C-alpha cells in the first residue's frame, strides 16, 4: 500500500508508545498541541505492552531471531542551510535479554510436536541448561523444546479437545512423582493454551496501581479512567517459612486474621496508626535502618515480617525515612477501593498506555505504528531539533521531540541495571481460598543470601488476563544474575515443577518464560548529547507502582509547555463542539476507535 503522506508540521513528535510517552502525548494533545505519535513496533505500549499467548510467543520468537543490521540511509539531501542530521540509534533489542522458555505441560498430540520445525539453537541451549538438572529422559526434553517451535505454525488448525482427560502417554516428560499427582485433576495442555491463547493478556512489565498513587490520581483527574476498567487486588500474601500466608493489612483483615493473636492485632493496628504521623521517636532513628526501628517496637517476628516485607516492601537495610514513606504510601492507598491498596486494570497493564493514546487521539493526535524516525534535523546555531525525518524519508517539522530511551541506546552507555522477570501460567492459586477469583500480591523476601527480593503478582481469570482454570503469575526483581538464576529458585519453592516434584500440594507450572529487561530508572530526561528540545523517556523502573513513569511524563510536559495545566479533565462528549469547517468526524475520532482495541493493529497497518 502506498504510503499516505503525513502532515509535515507538528508541535510535538513522540517516538515510542510506552507509558510515559503516551501520557506526554495525551497531555500535549489535550491542551491543543498537534501531536504525532509513532512506534516502530507493530503494537502499542512498547515494553509496557500486554500480549495474547500467541502474541507473546511471536514476541519471544522475534527476540530470539538475530537482529538484522539495518542499513543507515543518508537523508542529508533533505537538509537546509545550517542544519545537520543526528541519527537515532538502531532500536536495540538489548532491552530484552536472557529469554528462556519452559513448558511443563503435555502436548496434546505427540505427532503434532514431532512434525514441527527444528528447535532454534539459542532456545535449545536455554532449555538444555535447565534440563541438566532435571531428572527426566532425553526424549521428553525434545517434546519440551520442540513444542515451542509450533509458535507460528499450524496450531491454529489443531482441533483439540479442550478439557479431555489427559492420557499417560501425553506427559512422558513428567517425573514419576508428578504423574501420580491427583489423577483427577484435569491438566491443561499446551495445545489448549495455544488454542485459547487470545484470551490471555500477558504483561511484559508487572506493576500494580496504588489506589492513591499518581497514576490513579491522573486517570481520575484527566477522565482517562473512562477508557478502562479495574479490579481490586484482593489480598496481600507473603512467602514465609516455606509457606504462603495472607498478610493482614486492612482493619477488616486484621479483625478476621486467624494467624495473629489478639495482642498482635492490637500492636499491628497501633503501629499502623502511629506511623502515619511523623513522631519524635521516628526522628530519633533518623538515618538508621527501618528494620532497627521495627525491632525496637517489640512487635514480634510475625508483625515485623509483615511490616517490612509486605507493607513497606523494603529491604533490611532501607533507612527509616524511606521505610516509613513506603508504609504511609501503602496505608494511604488502603481502603479507597477495597481491602488492599492496589488496583489492576482488566485486560492487563498494556491497557493503560493505550488509554492515554486514545485520549491523545480524541484531541487530534495522529498515530502510526510500524513507523519510526531515522534522524533528527538539528539547527547548528541553536542546537534545537527543527524537524525529524521518518523512515520513509519524509521531513516533519516539530518544536519538540520525545523519544523512548532505546532509540538513544548506546550513547547513554552507563552500565545498565536489569530487571529479572518471569511469567508463569499455573493451574492453581498459591493460596487456595473460598473464592477462586483472588488477585494476589505476594512479597517474597530473599530465599537465601545474595538473592533479591521478589514481587509476585498472581492474576485470576476474572482479570481477563488468563483462561479459566489457570492463573497468570508475574515475578519481578532487580537482577543479580539472569532472570532464570534469580527467579527459578522462587518458582521451585512456590510451585510444583519438575524441579520440585515433591511439592504436590502446590500449583503446577504449565508454561513459563524468563527474561531480563533493562531497568531504565536513572536515565536523564535531557542531555545524551541531544538537542535541548529532545526529551528521553527512560523505560521501566523496578518499583511496584507507577510513580516514576508519571512523574517523568509530567516533568517532560512541563518542559515542553511550562505554562499549561497537566492533563486537565477531559470534557464530556456532549460538551464538545464540532466546527462546521470540519463537519465529518475529526481526525482524532477515527483513531479513537482504533486505540485501545484490537482493531488498532490492523488500522495502523493500513497507514503503512
Partner 1 sequence: MHGRIKIKSTAQQEEEKRKEREKKLKIYVSARDTCFSKRKEGILDEEALQVTQQLLSSNPDFATLWNYRREILMHLETVKEKDEVQKIYEAELAFLESCLKLNPKSYGSWHHRCWVSARLPRPDWSRELSLCDRCLSLDDRNFHCWDYRRMVVKVSGVPVAQELGFTDRLIGSNFSNYSSWHYRSTLLPLLHPESPESPSPSHEPPQPSPSHSPQTQSHRVCEEQLLKEYELVQNAFFTDPNDQSAWFYYRWLLGRAEREEMISCVYVSRDEERVAVAFSRPVNAQSVSLLLVLDGQPQKVEWKSVHPRFKHSPVCICDLPPGTISDITNEHNLTVHWTEKYTHRDCALYTGRTESWCRDSATDQELFRSELSVEKTSVLQSELQSCNQLLELEPLNKWCLLTIVLLMRALDPLGYEKETLAHFQTLKEVDPMRSAYYSDLCSKFIIENTVLKMEYAEVRVFSITDKNLTTLCHLDQLLLVTHINLSSNQLQQLPPQFAMLQCLEVLEVDNNRIENLEGVYHLPKLEEVLLKNNKISALADLQPLASCPKLRRLDLRGNPVTQAANIESELTALLPSVTDLLL
* Chain positions contacting partner 1, by CB under 8 A: 7, 32, 34, 251-252, 254-256, 262-263, 265-267, 269-270, 362-364, 366, 571, 575-579, 582, 585-589
Could you tell me the smallest distance in angstroms from the CB atom of residue 119 to partner 1? Answer: 50
Answer yes or no: are the C-beta atoms of 231 and 346 closer than 8 Å: yes
Could you tell me the smallest distance in angstroms from the CB atom of residue 333 to partner 1? Answer: 18
Determine the 3-state secondary structure of 352 from DSSP: helix
- In this complex, which beta carbon is closest to partner 1, that of residue 31 or of residue 525? 31
Could you tell me the smallest distance in angstroms from the CB atom of residue 458 to partner 1? Answer: 22
- In this complex, which beta carbon is closest to partner 1, that of residue 224 or of residue 362? 362
CA 439 to the chain's CA centroid: 16
Please compute, for residue 575, the number of CA atoms within 13 A of its CA located in the half-sphere on the CB side: 4
Give per-residue burial for 509-538: e unless 16+ CB within 10 Å, then b: bbbbbbbbbbbbbebebeebebbebbbbbb
CA 519 to the chain's CA centroid: 12
Could you tell me the smallest distance in angstroms from the CB atom of residue 577 to partner 1? Answer: 4
Could you tell me the smallest distance in angstroms from the CB atom of residue 272 to partner 1? Answer: 11
Contacts of residue 451, Cβ cutoff 8 Å, sequence gap at least 6: 480, 486, 489
Could you tell me the smallest distance in angstroms from the CB atom of residue 586 to partner 1? Answer: 2
- In this complex, which beta carbon is closest to partner 1, that of residue 11 or of residue 526? 11
Look at residues 549, 544, 539, 547 and name the one whose alpha carbon lies nearest to residue 516: 539
Could you tell me the smallest distance in angstroms from the CB atom of residue 269 to partner 1? Answer: 6
Instruction: At 494, give phi and psi (nearest 5°).
Output: -90, -15
Could you tell me the smallest distance in angstroms from the CB atom of residue 355 to partner 1? Answer: 18
DSSP state of 439: -
Give the three cell numbers for residue 268. 499491628
Could you tell me the smallest distance in angstroms from the CB atom of residue 313 to partner 1? Answer: 23
> Helices 121-131 and 483-494, interaxial angle, to 10°?
50
Contacts of residue 354, Cβ cutoff 8 Å, sequence gap at least 6: 22, 44, 45, 227, 595, 596, 600
Give the three cell numbers for residue 458. 498472581
DSSP state of 383: T
- In this complex, which beta carbon is closest to partner 1, that of residue 11 or of residue 92? 11
Could you tell me the smallest distance in angstroms from the CB atom of residue 33 to partner 1? Answer: 10
How many other CB atoms are found less than 10 A from the CB of residue 399?
A: 17
Could you tell me the smallest distance in angstroms from the CB atom of residue 396 to partner 1? Answer: 13
Give the three cell numbers for residue 359. 485520549
- In this complex, which beta carbon is closest to partner 1, that of residue 132 or of residue 579? 579
Distance CA 215, CA 565 (A): 16
- In this complex, which beta carbon is closest to partner 1, that of residue 340 or of residue 426? 340
From residue 242, give the alpha-carbon distance in Å to each of 174, 474, 488, 489: 24, 19, 15, 12
- In this complex, which beta carbon is closest to partner 1, that of residue 82 or of residue 571? 571
From residue 552, give the alpha-carbon distance in Å to each of 138, 325, 404, 559: 50, 20, 12, 11
- In this complex, which beta carbon is closest to partner 1, that of residue 284 or of residue 576? 576
Classify residue 154 by burial, with Cβ atoms within 10 Å: 0-12, 13-18, 19+.
exposed
- In this complex, which beta carbon is closest to partner 1, that of residue 7 or of residue 152? 7
Distance CA 170, CA 167 (A): 5
Could you tell me the smallest distance in angstroms from the CB atom of residue 549 to partner 1? Answer: 26
- In this complex, which beta carbon is closest to partner 1, that of residue 295 or of residue 576? 576
Distance CA 272, CA 145 (A): 49
Distance CA 136, CA 569 (A): 59
- In this complex, which beta carbon is closest to partner 1, that of residue 212 or of residue 251? 251
Per residue, what are the HEC states of 476-540?
EEECCCCHHHHHHHHHHHHCECCCCCCCCCCCEEEEEEEEEEEECCCCCCCCCCCCCCEEEECCE
- In this complex, which beta carbon is closest to partner 1, that of residue 7 or of residue 161? 7
Amino acid at each position: 500500500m502506498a504510503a499516505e503522506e503525513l502532515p509535515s508540521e507538528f508541535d510535538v513528535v513522540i517516538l515510542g508508545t510506552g507509558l510515559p510517552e503516551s501520557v506526554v502525548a495525551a497531555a500535549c494533545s489535550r491542551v491543543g498541541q498537534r501531536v504525532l505519535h509513532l512506534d516502530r513496533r507493530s503494537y502499542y505500549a512498547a515494553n509496557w505492552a500486554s500480549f495474547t499467548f500467541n502474541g507473546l510467543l511471536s514476541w519471544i520468537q522475534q527476540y530470539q531471531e538475530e537482529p538484522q543490521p539495518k542499513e543507515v540511509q543518508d537523508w542529508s539531501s533533505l537538509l537546509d542551510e545550517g542544519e545537520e542530521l543526528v541519527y537515532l540509534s538502531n532500536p536495540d533489542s538489548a532491552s530484552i535479554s536472557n529469554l528462556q522458555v519452559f513448558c511443563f505441560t503435555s502436548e496434546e498430540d505427540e505427532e503434532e510436536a514431532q512434525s514441527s520445525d527444528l528447535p532454534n539453537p539459542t532456545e535449545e541451549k536455554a532449555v538444555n541448561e535447565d534440563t541438566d538438572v532435571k531428572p527426566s529422559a532425553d526424549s521428553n526434553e525434545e517434546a519440551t523444546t520442540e513444542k515451542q517451535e509450533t509458535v507460528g505454525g499450524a496450531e491454529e488448525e489443531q482441533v483439540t479437545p479442550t478439557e479431555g482427560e489427559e492420557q499417560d502417554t501425553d506427559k512422558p516428560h513428567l517425573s514419576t512423582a508428578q504423574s501420580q499427582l491427583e489423577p483427577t485433576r484435569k491438566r491443561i495442555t499446551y495445545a489448549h493454551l495455544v488454542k485459547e491463547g487470545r484470551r490471555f493478556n500477558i504483561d511484559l512489565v508487572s506493576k500494580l496501581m496504588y489506589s492513591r498513587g499518581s497514576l490513579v490520581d491522573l486517570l481520575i483527574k484527566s477522565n482517562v479512567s473512562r477508557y478502562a476498567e479495574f479490579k481490586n487486588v484482593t489480598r496481600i500474601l507473603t512467602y514465609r517459612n516455606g509457606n504462603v500466608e495472607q498478610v493482614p493489612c486492612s482493619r477488616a483483615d486484621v479483625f478476621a486474621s486467624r494467624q495473629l493473636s489478639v495482642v498482635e492485632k492490637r500492636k499491628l493496628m497501633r503501629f499502623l496508626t502511629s506511623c502515619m504521623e511523623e513522631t519524635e521517636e521516628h526522628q530519633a532513628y533518623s538515618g538508621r535502618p527501618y528494620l532497627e526501628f521495627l525491632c525496637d517496637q517489640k512487635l514480634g517476628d510475625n508483625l515485623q515480617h509483615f511490616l517490612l516485607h509486605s507493607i513497606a516492601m523494603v529491604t533490611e537495610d532501607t533507612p527509616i525515612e524511606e521505610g516509613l514513606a513506603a508504609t504511609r504510601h501503602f496505608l494511604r492507598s488502603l481502603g479507597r477501593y477495597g481491602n488492599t491498596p492496589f488496583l489492576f486494570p482488566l485486560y492487563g497493564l498494556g491497557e493503560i498506555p493505550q488509554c492515554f493514546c486514545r485520549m491523545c487521539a480524541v484531541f487530534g493526535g495522529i498515530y502510526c505504528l510500524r513507523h519510526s524516525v531515522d534522524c533528527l534535523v538539528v539547527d547548528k546555531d541553536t542546537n534545537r531539533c527543527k524537524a525529524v525525518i521518518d523512515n520513509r524519508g519524509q521531513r516533519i517539522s516539530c518544536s519538540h521531540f520525545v523519544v523512548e530511551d532505546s532509540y538513544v541506546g548506546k550513547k547513554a552507555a552507563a552500565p545498565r541495571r536489569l530487571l529479572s522477570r518471569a511469567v508463569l501460567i499455573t493451574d492453581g492459586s498459591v493460596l487456595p481460598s473460598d473464592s477462586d477469583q483472588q488477585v494476589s500480591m505476594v512479597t517474597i523476601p530473599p530465599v537465601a543470601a545474595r538473592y533479591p527480593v521478589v514481587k509476585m503478582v498472581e492474576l485470576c481469570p476474572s482479570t481477563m488476563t488468563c483462561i479459566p482454570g489457570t492463573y497468570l503469575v508475574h515475578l519481578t526483581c532487580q537482577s543479580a544474575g539472569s532472570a532464570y538464576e534469580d527467579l527459578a529458585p522462587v518458582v521451585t519453592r512456590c510451585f510444583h515443577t519438575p524441579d520440585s516434584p515433591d511439592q504436590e500440594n502446590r500449583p503446577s507450572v504449565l508454561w513459563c518464560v524468563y527474561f531480563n529487561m533493562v531497568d531504565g530508572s536513572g536515565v536523564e530526561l535531557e542531555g545524551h548529547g541531544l538537542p535541548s528540545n529532545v526529551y528521553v523517556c527512560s523505560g521501566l523502573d523496578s518499583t511496584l507502582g507507577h510513580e516514576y513513569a508519571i512523574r517523568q511524563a509530567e516533568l517532560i510536559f512541563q518542559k515542553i509547555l511550562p505554562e499549561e495545566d497537566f492533563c486537565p479533565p477531559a470534557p464530556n462528549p456532549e460538551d464538545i463542539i464540532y466546527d462546521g469547517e470540519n463537519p465529518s468526524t475529526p481526525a482524532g475520532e477515527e483513531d479513537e476507535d482504533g486505540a485501545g482495541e484490537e482493531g488498532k493493529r490492523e488500522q495502523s497497518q493500513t497507514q503503512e
